[in-house]
Chains A and B, each alone.
Chain A
Amino acid sequence: MREIRLAKKIIFTLVKDRVQYNGRLIADFLSIFARCGVLLILYWYVFKLNNGLVNGVTYITIAWSMFLYFTFSVLRLRDISKEIMRDIRSGSVEILLSKPVSYFWYKIWWQIGSGIYPFLVIIIFGGIILFSIIGIPETMSLGLFIPTFLVVFAGAAILSLILYSIVGFMAFWIEDINPIFWMVDKMVMILGGSYLPVALFPSFMYKIALYSPFGASQFITHTVYESWKTNWFLLISIQIFWIVILSILAYIVFLKARKKVSVNGG
């Protein structure tokens, strides 16, 4: 109960903070336009050249898949790595670890709280704009869509937080985690279907995207494809599998990392 109260408090405080600073929302809008908006226009041109069909997939499906990928990135869950690194480098991790609150959970709620407001604004407004311009793919009109989307979205958020937390914990051992962060981040970017949607992958790359934790952390992009009707159970199972495995790994790494902390006082 205390944990839930803490989570609520952190999230609400951060949402209030984000509402106050409109500059950040403008930045997120510009960023989503630069990445997703421009890319959607380019893909529109590419599909026009290919008579509306590439690899048997329509433009509407590709557009929604990319929109979901980029909107999910507005949550900035990946920033948890850098936040953990900052705490370790500045030494504030000593103070945070001595508090009667789990450091890991505290960081997770903080990350969710700082990204939830721009995420909600962009998914609502962006979704409405995209719907009014191009419509929605058939899969999104099925009754199955909303419940499975919510499950896979929660799974993607949890998996992303765990994956990037493990990268962050590496800062207990090495000075600068940025190179590891870039590698993991780019694996997520490629296998998650950012600039090149998963539907356009060659078959070997599609299999890697399907069975790796990097691809699994972005399974929300699969929800708009035709195959979602038959594949949803398999994909959610893969996601749960990786959540369990990586949670155990993160827990072990965190326990070992705690032993590395030396409190110097001062």
Chain B
Amino acid sequence: MLKEIKFALYAIKKNIQSSAELRTSFLMNVFGMMINNTAFIILWIYFIKSVGIIGGWTPADIVGLQGFLALSYGIIFSFGNGIRWLPEYVSSGGFDRFMLSPKNLLSRIATSSFNSSAIGDITFGIICLVVYALLIHTSFYQILVLLLLVIFSTIIFLAFSIVVFSTSFFFVDSGSVTSGFFELFITPSLFHGGAFQGAMRFIFTFILPSLLVGTLPVEAIKDMSILKLSVVGLFSFIWMFISIKVFNKAVKKYESSNFMTFGN
């Protein structure tokens, strides 16, 4: 286990070094992504200004929501960007080289690619969460809860990404299908959390974990809700368990594409 973690960290280090070589491009990607993410805050703040406070959500909560989401997205798709390449690996036959590797399959795939723009997401996420903590005047206890929730939401994000991209093994045109599923998960998580009520809240919490990544963590901190904290924590373990099961089952469906061909 320790050896696997050491190898994963080594792969991440090499990926970062390789990306940082193209310094201008790297920095432009980081700052570009931060500006890109700001657009969502602008949009939802104007939404609140136009329609008023809904579900008790203020502009500060929008900042917190975007913070949680950007941070978990950034952590997973910077250091573990290889998960997103799974459809490409499967359809091109590139998955063979991972199967032949003596390392843990999932960690080998995850660390096979690095996305420099996701560093912009991490930076943006941290800034947003600090601003959020200042805006709502968090206590020391709330800061601890916030840190715990960052871990939980990142686990949920990772787990659901594994589930979504593992479906690559089941479809021919897997790139499009997985991107559609992923969109279905991530887009609602970007929306104003207070507007999710009733059946919508149930669906996007217990069937698709979109609200578990940002909305529920924000509400858990704001309301100091042990129930919401427990739900997010519990589901992070459940989803992680499901994702590993789904991944292992999906891998068994893999058939080498063998694009190298024989003799030609």
Chain A interface (Cβ < 8 Å from any Cβ of B): 21-24, 26-31, 33-35, 38-39, 41-43, 45-46, 49-50, 54-55, 174-176, 178-180, 182-183, 185-186, 189-190, 194-196, 200-202, 205
Contact = CB atoms under 8 A, between A and B. Distances in A.
Contacts of B39: 186, 189-190
Q: Assign chain B's interface to a size class.
A: 35 or more
Instruction: Tell me what chain A mostly uses at the interface: helix, strand, loop, or mixed.
Output: helix
Given A175-B22, A176-B28, A189-B39, A45 B195 contact: yes
B196 A42 contact: yes
A23 B176 contact: yes
Contacts of B117: 178-179
B260 interface: no
A256 to B, nearest CB: 21
Interface in B167-190: 171-174, 176-177, 179-181, 183-188
B51 interface: yes
A49 B195 CA distance: 10
B43 interface: yes
A21 B172 CA distance: 9
Contact of B188 (A22, A29, A38, A205): A38
Contacts of B174: 23
Given A23-B172, A35-B187, A178-B32, A195 B43 contact: yes
Contacts of B28: 174, 176, 178-179
Interface string B195-208: 11100100010000
30 contacts: A23-B172, A23-B174, A26-B177, A27-B176, A28-B180, A30-B180, A30-B181, A30-B184, A35-B187, A38-B187, A38-B204, A42-B192, A42-B195, A42-B196, A42-B200, A46-B54, A49-B54, A50-B52, A54-B51, A176-B28, A176-B29, A179-B32, A180-B32, A182-B35, A183-B36, A186-B35, A186-B39, A189-B39, A190-B39, A205-B46
Contact of B173 (A21, A39, A50, A183): A21
Which 7 A-B residue pairs are closest in the complex by CB-CB distance?
A179-B32, A27-B180, A23-B173, A30-B180, A186-B39, A27-B176, A182-B36
Contacts of A201: 46, 50
A41 B183 contact: no
Contacts of B18: none
A176 B50 contact: no
Interface string B14-37: 000000001011001101110110
B10 interface: no
A183 B32 contact: yes
B42 interface: yes
A17 to B, nearest CB: 11
Interface centre among A22, A27, A174 (most CB of B within 10 A): A27
B49 A24 contact: no
A39 B35 CA distance: 23
Nearest to A43: B195
Given A175-B24, A195-B44, 15 more contacts: A24-B173, A26-B177, A27-B179, A42-B195, A46-B54, A50-B52, A174-B24, A175-B25, A176-B25, A178-B117, A179-B28, A179-B35, A180-B32, A189-B43, A195-B47
B186 to A, nearest CB: 8
Nearest to A46: B51
B183 A31 contact: yes
A188 B185 CA distance: 23
B18 to A, nearest CB: 14
Contacts of B196: 42
Nearest to B53: A49
B191 interface: yes
A34 B184 contact: yes
B198 to A, nearest CB: 8
B69 to A, nearest CB: 15
A37 to B, nearest CB: 10
A179 to B, nearest CB: 3
